[in-house]
């Protein structure tokens, strides 16, 4: 059965003649490009504030909603619960994979229009489920792991991270390993200390043993020595003959960041990143270059649909566990939406500072309007 196509996106060209950047913005579940896009542009006066930006508002194709008794609605993937986005993850896989492929196609087309190697001029933006689908697509990266394409920024409002619990379990295994290794090292240190610090009683016992015979069963001069030594004949490089640390990582095992990203890529039906890929702060690895995309996440503290704690958990996962550059903002008195006077202003400031996006101050636009009225 062939897939239903995605509706044609709403495209709004730059207000000025110059096209420097493109913003691709995803609506929430049950909405569409016209409803979400037009309101965002008008309420925040984004065309006036960002005169060199092209806006692309895609619409999610209709999918049957399991929670709504199979009613077809516009949704990026079948999301069973907003109170607990981790419920019924089995329903989410197909939609997330197809949506990520669709988003990558939009990004590729805009990069072609802007010019070669201009992925850094593209901003991916999403509200609610659009944020969730967008950030998951971003984490998946590109089909060809040799492509060193990093987007200019990701903007998320009132969203969450799909499969957050599974990713947390992958990353958390590293914490457990570190704690266990610390305990192991402490035990080793205690053993070393006890061997070095002998009491008077131990010294007397040593004198007695020297006068009698060696009590080391592995000492061939000892009368208790026999051929039952289980370690005899082992090679010197055997782990049983050296300083064996059970917590040393297997050389073939991928770093946990790679394991987490490969989990996302598996869900998105993308090829796995090789285990020997190194994650580096200077961005040497093209396979992980998408993790260098700066991220802004905003959420209403009084959101009745998607708790702000899901947004905060996403922020911590991206920054603390995956090493991404994340700005997290929580807005008091705000529900499941955005607010122009603080959240949108913060987003515009973020884009100005982090993407070098030309942003016109609201005061300049008001002054210009006043001058036009006088004429």
Unique residue bearing structure tokens 């709403």:
10
Closest alpha carbon to 103 in 136, 147, 145: 136
Summarised one tens digit per residue, pLDDT across range 48-93 is: 999 999 999 999 999 999 999 999 999 999 999 989 999 999 999 9
Reply yes or no on whether the pLDDT at 199 is more than 50. Answer: no
Inter-helix orientation angle 129-140/93-114, to 10°: 70
CATH superfamily assigned to domain 10-168+255-274+286-373: Alpha/Beta hydrolase fold, catalytic domain (3.40.50.1820)
Q: Does the pLDDT at position 281 exceed 60?
A: no
Q: Which long-range contacts (CB under 8 A, 24 or more apart) does 253-257 make?
A: 255/279, 256/170, 256/171, 256/173, 256/174, 257/288, 257/291, 257/321, 257/322, 257/323
Q: What is the per-residue pLDDT across 1-50, written as a single tens digit (0 to 9) for each?
A: 567 899 999 999 999 989 999 999 999 999 999 999 999 999 999 999 99
Each residue of 229-245: pLDDT tens digit?
A: 544 444 444 444 445 45
Non-local (6+) Cβ contacts of 89 within 8 A are 162, 163, 166
Residue 313 has a pLDDT of: 97
Percent of the chain's residues with pLDDT above 90? 66
- CA separation for the pair 133, 126 (Å, rounded): 8
Tens digits of residue pLDDT in 110-121 = 999 998 668 999
At 121 the pLDDT is 96
Mean pLDDT, the chain, whole residue set: 83
Nearest CA to 323 out of 351, 285, 349, 352 is that of: 285
pLDDT exceeds 80 at position 318 = yes
Give yes or no for a contact between 33 and 57, defined as CB atoms under 8 angstroms apart.
yes
């Amino acid at each position: 059965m062939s897939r239903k196509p995605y509706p044609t996106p709403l495209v709004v060209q730059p207000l000025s003649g110059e096209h420097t950047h493109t913003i691709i913005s995803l609506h929430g579940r049950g909405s569409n490009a016209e409803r979400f896009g037009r309101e965002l542009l008008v309420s925040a006066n984004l065309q006036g504030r960002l005169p060199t930006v092209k806006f692309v508002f895609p619409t999610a194709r209709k999918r049957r909603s399991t929670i709504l008794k199979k009613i077809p609605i516009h949704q990026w993937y079948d999301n069973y619960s907003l109170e607990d986005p981790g419920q019924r993850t089995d329903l989410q896989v197909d939609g997330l994979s197809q949506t990520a492929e669709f988003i990558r196609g939009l990004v590729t087309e805009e990069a072609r229009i802007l010019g070669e190697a201009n992925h850094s001029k593209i901003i991916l933006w999403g509200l609610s489920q659009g944020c969730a689908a967008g950030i998951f697509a971003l984490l998946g990266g590109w089909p060809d792991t040799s492509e060193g394409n990093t987007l200019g920024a990701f903007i998320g409002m009132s969203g969450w991270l799909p499969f957050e619990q599974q990713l947390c379990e992958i990353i958390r295994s590293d914490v457990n390993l570190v704690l266990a290794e610390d305990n192991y090292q402490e035990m080793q240190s205690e053993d070393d200390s006890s061997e070095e610090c002998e009491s008077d009683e131990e010294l007397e016992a040593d004198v007695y043993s020297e006068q009698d015979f060696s009590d080391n069963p592995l000492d061939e001069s000892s009368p208790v020595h026999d051929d039952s030594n289980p370690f005899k004949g082992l090679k010197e490089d055997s782990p049983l003959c050296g300083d064996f640390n059970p917590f040393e990582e297997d050389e073939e095992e991928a770093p946990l960041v790679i394991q987490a990203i490969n989990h996302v890529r598996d869900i998105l039906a993308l090829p796995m990143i090789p285990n020997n890929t190194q994650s580096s702060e200077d961005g040497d690895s093209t396979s992980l270059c998408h993790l260098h995309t700066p991220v802004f996440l905003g959420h209403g503290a009084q959101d009745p649909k998607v708790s702000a704690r899901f947004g905060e958990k996403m922020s911590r996962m991206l920054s603390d566990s995956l090493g991404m550059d994340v700005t997290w903002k929580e807005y008091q008195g705000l529900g499941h939406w955005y607010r122009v006077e603080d959240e949108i202003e913060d987003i515009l400031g973020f884009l100005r500072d982090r993407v070098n996006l030309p942003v016109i101050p609201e005061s300049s636009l008001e002054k210009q309007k006043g001058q036009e009225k006088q004429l």
